[in-house]
Structures are given as structure tokens and as C-alpha cells.
Amino acid sequence: MYKIGFIGLGIMGKPMARNLLKAGYSLVVYDINEEAVEEVVKDGAARGKSSCDVASKSDVVITMLPNSPDVKEVIIGDKGVIYGVKPGSVVIDMSSIAPSASRELAEILLKKEVIMLDAPVSGGEPKAIEGTLAIMVGGPEATFNKVKDIFDKMGTSVKLVGDIGSGNITKLANQIIVALNIAAIGEAMVLATKAGADPEKVYQAIKGGLAGSAALEAKMPMILNGNFKPGFRIELHIKDLKNALDTARELGVKNVLTVKVLEIMEELKADGKAKDDHGGIIRFYEKSANVEVRKKQ
């Protein structure tokens, strides 16, 4: 069984690391947040001194970080993974970053005889805790097959979608669909509530039809209870949509609706809601209509 290094113990990374521990894997972990490290160490992980130290003690290194600059710093920065990783090892970046960054890092690691997979996830904190994430993987098929058992301990839908960078391309497509879906939920439910309908009954009536979706099922109960505790923060979704638009510009693709939803998220960020759950997109519509979509008492 592989020795795994896990770097990045945030909202998503911590439960993912815990699921690997529960599955019996030997883990060495590192994060700049000492409190998060301490929690996972209490669960049975070993403490790494740096990204380099983690890599030197691991066969497989997993990173789960906020954005491209963070991943680059951890992998090729001072005391980075690249200075400790052994030839023949595998680096799996499960962050959601720019596809071009994944390809750049894979080329650098390949010179050290290290294969990289980009494997971003979808499902938010609840599915990270359950170990039921959707995992989209880019990289060589032989390497994917070699570490698939690791993925299976964190997710229930694990798909190899193409070469390195393809995982993050898939994640960008996912994030566009999720953002537009949540925005549509907000727009529709504010309209229904403003018109005098009971939003909970509207939700129950439409969830089994074509308007039903995983986003509707996940976010409407939270919205009805006024719960915007983050499973996935607005500020992180902003980052993903910016990466999507950057990629679209490189490819000459128009993303008209993505641009609009990004503007909505940026306005919410300016209102101090950057760390709220992305289901909080509805509050943009609530504010403009002067109504709240909540469960009736």
C-alpha cells in the first residue's frame, strides 16, 4: 500500500485526508494551518515539516490547494515537493486550477521522472466528508490505473477524461454549469416568492421535473433555512470562473452567461459575502427584489 503525502487541509482537503486514513493508508500531512494539521495528526497521520519533507516520505503526493499560484508554490517553490520527491513517484493535484498551470507543472516534474495527474473534484464539503466526490482526472492511463484505488477512497465517480490538464478543463465546465444553475435557482425562487408563492412548495413541486438538479437538491434546503455556511465559498467559485474565462479567451470561445454570473459573485464579494456558500448567489436577487426566500414559520 502506497505511502501518501497530503498537502492542503482546508474545507475539502481535511475530510479527504481523513477518508484515506480510514481506508488504512499511511499519511504524512502538511498545511500552513497548524490547527488543521493537529486535527489530522490526532486521527493517525504523521506531521510533515514542509512540502519537501512530505514528498521525501511519500510514494504518492496529493495537493489540495486554493489556486494555481498556491499549487506552484507548494510544488516548485522554496522547500517545494520537487526538492523531495523521488523518481517514480506520482503527484496528484486535486486543486481546481488553470489547465495551463497543470501542464506546466507536469512538464517540470517529468524531468524528475515524476508523473503528475490533475484531478479536481466536485461535490463540496458534504461529499468530501462522505467520500462520495466526483473526481475528474487528466494524465496517463497507466498512472491513473496505478492510483485509482486511492481515488476510490475519496470519491464514487472517478473518471479519466484525457491527458494532463483535461481534469481541470472538465472542472471548469462543471463550475460553469453549477454557477449558472445556482443563479437560475436564485432568479426563479425570488420571482416565485415575490409573487406570493411559498418557496418550499415551489421547490417540492419542481424538483422532480426537468428543472430538478443536484444543485437544486443541495442548495434549496440551505436557502430555505437561511444557511450560507460554506461548503464551497463564493470567493473560490469566482476564482474558478475567472480561470474558465481566461481559458475561453485563449480558445476564442464566448462565455456570455458566465461573465454575468461572475459579475453577480463579484458584487456579493464587495458586500462582504466572499466566504459565504455559493448558494448565497440568491442574495443578489433577494436584495434587488427586497424579499427573502425562506421557509414559512
Active site members: 171
Residue 66 cell numbers, joined: 486554493
Amino acid at 220: M
Q: What are phi and psi of 275, to 5 degrees?
A: -95, 5
Determine the angle formed by the axes of helices 166-194 and 282-289, rounding to 10 degrees.
30
Residues 96-128 as b or e (16 or more Cβ within 10 Å = b)? bbbbebbbbbbeebeebebbbbbbbbbbbbebb
Rounded CA-CA distance 37/20 in Å is 15
Q: What are phi and psi of 46, to 5 degrees?
A: -90, 150
**Cα 19 off chain centre by:** 16
Rounded CA-CA distance 111/3 in Å is 22
Q: In terms of Cα–Cα distance, which of 208, 206, 175 is closest to 188?
A: 206
Rounded CA-CA distance 169/63 in Å is 18
